[in-house]
Each structure stands twice: as structure tokens, then as C-alpha cells.
């Protein structure tokens, strides 16, 4: 039996990407939810927090970001001296669009003195109105790091509810945002999967609804879940997050089995990034992602405050 390899990158495309990346002094960063072939050409594949950290520390002139808009924007905030390019300009995040500056400013007026904790899945203009950011990898530590007793968390109500459970000493006010890819999982199919594979460990991303998370064994960021499954002595897992994680999971764990729900967990935006987009981005050095001047300072402050807090 041959082991899992996943889709292969055509050698000609690989050569072109490597040559152009060297000529441009470019580093290619990919989120785990991107297509497997994008993982294969990337210099680094990671979760939202890992990608921000990597963008900040890499010594290069250009970053080609394979992910969604807010991720490239965060890289641009952290790397003012680098040209940050989003491989596919149409790759947005519907959850990030569920909070806009006008609505957040209004809510802040209703809640004087309440700090705003914003998930990185948000625009820079929303981050600019926030006190601090978090990702799924550091949400608990960020929440605990705040002096305030009551905190408004935007935009993901599922992540906020998950964090509230782990930090009961604070009061977390939620915002009605959610990730359509994770939110659509239904409880019945999870219960059926668990019944079919009772020996499997259930691992999930905190963007899932609370009723789904209540049925799981392990909750974490994409890299947290991959690390857990890779280090665990268990051999079977039910994976409740976007299917992009399956490529590294299967590649690193040839002796393990990963089950997925019948509801396809695919983020259509992450999948917009293609090899052709990467080649075009390297050739043209467009589209460049820039943060509006009026948002840059305060948004960077909220992101840097987060970066100072260690990962969960």
C-alpha cells in the first residue's frame, strides 16, 4: 500500500514558483485551509497566529499570502517594510464582514468603559476600534490578560461562548457573527459519526456552535488540532473543522484515520487561492494589500497587544 501523498504540484509550476520567488525575494505563506497544492509550494503553512508571527519575523521583500483578506491585512500591519500580496483578491472572510466600524462604534457608546476584544477575523478598521485582538490559539490567555471584568468580544459568537466557558470569572458580551463554514455543522450527523466510530477522538475548531463543541474531546486552533492528532496515541479522529487540515494530518500520520462529517466543511474563500494565482502574484507583484492610514496605528496597537500574549 502506498502512503498518502495528496495532490502533486506540476513540476513546471513548481520550478516557475521557486524561480520567481527567488528573483522577487518573496516568501509564500499559506493558511491550512488553502488547497493542498498551495501547502506544497508554501514556505510556511500555519494558523492565523502562526502566520502573523511568521510574517513579522521573515527577512524578505515580498510576502505572497495565500489565505483571506484579513490575514494579508494583518501581515501588512506587522510588516510595513514588506510588500504584502494576497494571491487572490476575491478571497474574503464572511465572518469578518459581520462587524463593521459604524455598528461597533455605536455598541461601544452603549458600553462605556468596556474593552473590545476582536478576533483577528476582522477588518483593520474594526481592529482600529478594538483594544486588543485574539486568534483561536490565544483567546483564553488574551481574555485572562485583561484587567476588566466585562469584555465585548467581536465578531464570532461561537468563539466568545467557548472562551466564556473557560474563563467564567469574566463576563463576555457577544456579537452576532459566525463562520458559515463551521456554523452549518448539525448535531445529528455528529452524533451519528460518534456512534459509528465510538473509538475515535472528536476534535473541533472553536468556531463550531456550542452544541457541537459539547460533543468533542479536544478544541483548538487549526495548528493546535494538527499538533494534538499528530502527538496523540489515538489512531482514529473525527475532524470538525475546514477540510484543508486533512492534507497535513494525513501526510504526517500515515497510520491514523481521519473521519469527516457528511456536511462538507469547505471555506470557498480559502479555496480561491490557486497555483495560477501564486504565479501571477509573483510575476506582477499585485494585488498589494495596504491598510488605510487612519486605521493603521490603532489597529497595529491592538494586534501588537495580542502578540505580546503567549499562545494557549
* Window 172-211: contact mask with ligand 13P (x via CB under 6 A): -------x-------------------------x-x----
Q: Does position 139 bind ligand SF4 by CB under 6 A?
A: no
Task: Pick the closer one to ligand 13P by CB: 139 or 281.
Answer: 139
Q: Decide: 79 and 54 in contact? Cβ < 8 Å.
A: no
Stretch that binds ligand SF4, among 163-171, 194-202, 264-272, 288-296 (CB under 6 A): 264-272
Q: Does position 143 bind ligand SF4 by CB under 6 A?
A: no
Q: Which residue of 136, 222, 269, 295 would you call a contact of ligand SF4, by CB under 6 A?
A: 269
- Closest approach of Cβ 31 to ligand SF4, in Å? 8
Q: Decide: 126 and 104 in contact? Cβ < 8 Å.
A: yes
- Residue 255: how many CB atoms within 10 A of its CB? 6
- Give the separation between CA 207 and CA 203, rounded to whole angstroms: 12
| DSSP assignments along 136-157, one per residue | TTTHHHHHHH---SEEEEESBH
Q: Does position 270 bind ligand SF4 by CB under 6 A?
A: yes
Residues in region 147-186 near ligand SF4 by CB under 6 A? 179-181
Q: Does position 17 bind ligand SF4 by CB under 6 A?
A: no
- Closest approach of Cβ 294 to ligand 13P, in Å? 25
- Give the separation between CA 223 and CA 269, rounded to whole angstroms: 19
Count the site residues for ligand 13P by CB under 6 A. Answer: 14
Task: Pick the closer one to ligand 13P by CB: 121 or 209.
Answer: 121
Q: Which long-range contacts (CB under 8 A, 24 or more apart) does 162-168 make?
A: 162/206, 162/210, 162/213, 162/219, 163/139, 163/206, 166/140, 167/140, 167/143
Radius of gyration of the chain (CA): 19
Q: Does position 123 bind ligand 13P by CB under 6 A?
A: no
Task: Pick the closer one to ligand 13P by CB: 70 or 82.
Answer: 70
| DSSP assignments along 44-79, one per residue | EEE-HHHHHHHHHH---SEEEEES-HHHHHHHHHH-
- Give the separation between CA 13 and CA 279, rounded to whole angstroms: 8
Task: Pick the closer one to ligand 13P by CB: 24 or 67.
Answer: 67
Residues in region 212-231 near ligand 13P by CB under 6 A? 221-222
Name which of ligand 13P, ligand SF4, none residue 126 binds, using a CB cut-off of 5 to 8 Å depending on partner kind. Answer: none
214 CB-side CA count, 13 A = 8
Interface contacts to ligand 13P, rule CB under 6 A: 32, 47-49, 93, 121, 135-137, 179, 205, 207, 221-222
Amino acid at each position: 500500500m502506498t502512503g498518502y501523498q495528496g495532490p502533486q504540484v506540476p513540476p513546471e509550476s513548481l520550478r516557475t514558483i521557486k524561480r520567481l520567488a527567488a528573483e522577487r525575494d518573496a516568501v509564500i505563506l499559506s493558511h491550512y485551509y488553502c488547497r493542498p497544492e498551495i501547502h506544497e509550494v508554501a514556505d510556511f503553512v500555519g494558523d492565523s497566529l502562526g502566520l502573523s508571527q511568521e510574517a513579522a519575523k521573515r527577512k524578505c521583500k515580498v510576502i505572497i499570502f495565500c489565505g483571506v483578506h484579513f490575514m494579508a491585512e494583518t501581515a501588512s500591519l506587522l510588516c510595513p517594510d514588506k510588500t504584502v500580496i494576497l494571491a487572490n483578491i476575491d478571497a474574503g472572510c464572511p465572518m469578518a464582514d459581520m462587524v463593521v466600524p459604524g455598528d461597533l462604534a455605536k455598541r461601544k457608546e452603549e458600553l462605556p468603559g468596556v474593552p473590545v476584544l476582536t478576533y483577528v477575523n476582522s477588518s483593520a478598521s474594526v481592529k482600529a476600534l478594538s483594544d486588543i485582538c485574539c486568534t483561536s490559539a490565544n483567546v483564553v490567555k488574551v481574555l485572562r490578560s485583561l484587567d476588566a471584568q466585562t469584555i465585548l468580544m467581536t465578531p464570532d459568537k461561537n468563539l466568545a461562548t467557548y472562551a466564556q466557558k473557560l474563563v467564567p470569572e469574566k463576563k463576555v458580551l457577544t456579537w452576532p457573527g459566525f463562520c458559515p463554514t463551521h456554523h452549518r455543522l448539525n448535531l445529528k450527523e455528529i452524533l451519528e459519526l460518534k456512534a459509528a466510530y465510538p473509538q475515535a477522538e472528536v476534535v473541533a475548531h472553536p468556531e463550531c456552535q456550542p452544541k457541537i463543541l459539547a460533543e468533542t474531546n479536544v478544541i483548538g486552533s487549526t495548528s493546535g488540532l494538527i499538533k494534538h492528532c499528530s502527538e496523540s496515541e489515538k489512531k482514529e479522529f473525527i475532524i470538525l473543522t475546514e477540510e484543508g487540515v486533512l492534507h497535513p494530518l494525513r501526510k504526517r500520520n500515515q497510520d491514523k484515520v481521519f473521519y469527516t462529517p457528511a456536511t462538507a466543511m469547505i471555506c470557498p474563500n480559502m479555496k480561491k487561492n490557486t497555483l495560477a494565482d501564486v504565479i501571477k502574484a509573483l510575476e506582477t507583484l499585485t494585488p498589494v494589500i495596504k491598510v488605510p492610514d487612519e486605521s493603521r496605528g490603532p489597529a497595529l496597537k491592538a494586534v501588537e497587544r495580542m502578540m505580546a500574549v503567549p499562545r494557549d
